[in-house]
Structure 1
């Protein structure tokens, strides 16, 4: 694969040959439908069997949402459970048939990327690191870090995470990347002298002394977020396994290690705290409840901001690639050209088949 560099992003000049060692054989993809119609953008996502949404709904429905995003282990031998989960498994397999494997379609993807300037955007948890019981130990592997570092030498690369920016930088530890934490509400990006900075954007320097642009559209919420964090720590301290994480502009309440019979107690604790904060909303991820400011900003908006900062917005020859695995990543998918739901099949999309432990 020949990479021709320019000032902002290299152009993928020739398609790379398929490496047989990188293909994933799957009995779930025995189909011969025509190639997907490609959109001007490329999206790579890890499919989830079923996810729940929890945003501005009554407390009584929170428990159902928590359960819907936490499928039971598919490896169980319990026959009754296999019947119950059959519909979910069928839907999941249908999804995988409709959207072919990214790895086995590698040559097709590189052909599509030929002549494009690529910018790469990555989620962290579940994408660069495994999902673990304790979020403080979600370390990326040495091989993964080396792979990201290598990619960043050729393409502008950014991490967009729900974690605080400082925390995700501590996990990744690569200086050649750009970082956006708190679901894009805390961005450290490149400085363009010709661009006009939006409100809540200041120019600063990073730890290496390089000029950067710091954008925090929810800065006025910091005192409120700290207050909610302290309240949630206090209200959940008696729930075994519950963990409250301060991600600067959002608060995450993890219930991965909480006995399912106590999930309702977790939901009630969160409800009792945030009902007094009408300017905050609750969203739902994989075994985590997240409290966020009510502002028109998400990972998709963060991706837009970073492309603009890189001088790559509004160019037909730019190919942004986003890799993510959770519901909050859908905002980024929508921005770069993919409609969710029944409209998905109208754009180019591939998935990574990843085997996870504990039913993830």
Structure 2
């Protein structure tokens, strides 16, 4: 593996990428997509059943309810064969990355910090922060999160990183000009603010445990503290609010419903944008490592698979469908993996 400063491509591209607040206009989808969404939210019971099943599948406790221990063990063993531990296979990863420019991309919740009941208390440990700091000293390193960029920066507190907030709709480099405030989804901000107020009034006010979080360019409706019996009512209330906002779409993450602008942008697009900004888009000697735990990270895993480069690493204790090639069990293993990256490139 190579050090952060040992880059074989044009240095000007890397310096320029590190010295600006990335501003870009993600392409909007056409009116057909808006009409499709409007049709989707009116499908009734079929949509409700599908979303409830998906909401349950995102809850780890449902994975613990396997009827037969032997069957669960067999499923886990088969899954681990296809997605082996990145710690146990670290030497193989290091060999694949040898002589290449490594770049590291990290989700935040569930990856650098544990999933907690109160999203505002998802604080990373000092040990994790030092591990991330060590990696960033050697490789270009980015945090790619569904959270607001400023909130993630407040959790992490490291100025030397790239931060891609709101699923990559708000990206800033480590030495960004503080006076440059590009807003790639600026036209949606008034609508998002209005939808936020409507969701707070409809969901938080009537569903105990529900929390609506404003991530600036997207909204998160957390249901990790909501009784399962109320999940259907929560979904119906979210769906009812969104009928008035055809420019917004509903997606799902880990125990969260997410409301985003109707634009073609996700963590996979953010990964591609960052690689391009770093001057790595057309290079074959680059080894991107993306670590994440959520459905939203699957878009980034798929980008790495399509490029045939690097390694996608899913953080999960339970077998689930993924485009990642490797796995880690929890944030503690992520910390150990990052430390090994540092140790392997200490000289």
- Fold shared by both chains (TM-score > 0.5): yes
Q: 128, 134, 151: which one pairs with 1:167?
A: 151
Q: Which residue of 2 aligns with 1:352?
A: 328
CA distance in 2, matches of 1:86, 1:113: 37
For residue 353 of structure 1, report the CA deviation from its aligned partner. 2.7
For residue 326 of structure 1, report the CA deviation from its aligned partner. 0.7
CA distance in 2, matches of 1:336, 1:166: 27
CA distance in 1, matches of 2:146, 2:258: 9
Residues 165/110 of structure 1: CA separation in 2 closer, same or farther (3 Å cut) = same
TM-score of the superposed pair, with normalisation by structure 1: 0.72
Q: Which residue of 1 aligns with 2:13?
A: none
User: Are the counterparts in 1 of residues 162 and 172 from structure 2 also a CA contact under 8 Å?
Assistant: yes
Q: Secondary structure at the match of 2:114?
A: coil
Q: Which residue of 1 aligns with 2:339?
A: none
Q: 258, 266, 286: which one pairs with 1:298?
A: 266
CA distance in 1, matches of 2:209, 2:92: 45
For residue 4 of structure 1, report the CA deviation from its aligned partner. 8.0
Q: 299, 303, 318: which one pairs with 2:286?
A: 318
User: Are the counterparts in 1 of residues 2 and 100 from structure 2 also a CA contact under 8 Å?
Assistant: no
For residue 215 of structure 1, report the CA deviation from its aligned partner. 5.2
For residue 82 of structure 1, report the CA deviation from its aligned partner. 4.0
User: Is 2:198 the partner of 1:222?
Assistant: no
Q: Which residue of 2 aligns with 1:12?
A: none
Residues 190/139 of structure 1: CA separation in 2 closer, same or farther (3 Å cut) = closer
What are structure 2's unaligned runs of at least 5 residues?
10-36, 313-320, 333-347
Q: 20, 43, 68: which one pairs with 2:57?
A: 68
Q: Secondary structure at the match of 1:140?
A: coil
Residues 2/67 of structure 1: CA separation in 2 closer, same or farther (3 Å cut) = closer
For residue 74 of structure 1, report the CA deviation from its aligned partner. 5.8
User: Are the counterparts in 1 of residues 266 and 299 from structure 2 also a CA contact under 8 Å?
Assistant: yes
Q: 55, 80, 83: which one pairs with 1:96?
A: 80
TM-score of the superposed pair, with normalisation by structure 2: 0.74
For residue 99 of structure 1, report the CA deviation from its aligned partner. 1.9
For residue 265 of structure 1, report the CA deviation from its aligned partner. 1.2
For residue 85 of structure 1, report the CA deviation from its aligned partner. 8.6
What are structure 1's unaligned runs of at least 5 residues?
10-54, 76-80, 192-203
For residue 87 of structure 1, report the CA deviation from its aligned partner. 6.3
